[in-house]
Amino acid sequence: MTELRFIQTDITTVSADAIVNAANSSLLGGGGVDGAIHRRGGPEILAECRELRRTRYPDGLPTGQAVATTAGRLPARWVIHTVGPVYAKAEDRSALLASAYRESLRVADQLGTKTVAFPAISAGIYGWPLDDAARIGVSTVRSAGTAVGEVIFVLFGQDTYDAFTSA
């Protein structure tokens, strides 16, 4: 059974086998968690992302999917990049958000990781309501059937931490 842990810190400082990047589909960096991972991890991550873009994802990584690269200078071995959905009140996109978590764990299993650190996918600039994002993230990880021994939800800010620990 996978143990869940919740901490409030910067995901780029977490020592885990893999950290999950709430990436944009271009895989080329951006703001929030994505930008922080690229800045702190260094050029190796961007170089691998460019190669993935050139060879496998010329139109970008699809929403809900995941792919891994090196972690560069981060205290992790891998970065698992996943694209969460942008929240749309008029359309239920919760299956895509759940898929981002499940696919990240699938990639983690393929890599043989034992610890994976997740941010609050889609709960930042993508506008997903925090309590709902937390409920979907925690319930999806709990039911994923993964070989990962520990999932660490790395949460930025007290409100995010509170929402995830309540979920």
Quick one: tokens of 118? 């997740």
Provide the residue ranges of all domains of the chain, joining segments of one domain with +.
3-166
Mean pLDDT (whole number) for 18-24? 96
The CATH number for 3-166, chosen from 3.30.70.3270, 3.40.50.620, 3.40.220.10, 3.40.30.10, is 3.40.220.10
- The whole-number pLDDT of residue 30 equals 84
What is the value of pTM for the model shown? 0.97
pLDDT, tens digit, for every residue of 119-143?
Answer: 999 999 899 999 999 999 999 999 9
CB within 8 Å of 45: residues ≥ 6 apart: 37, 38, 69, 70, 71, 72, 79
**Catalytic center residues:** 34
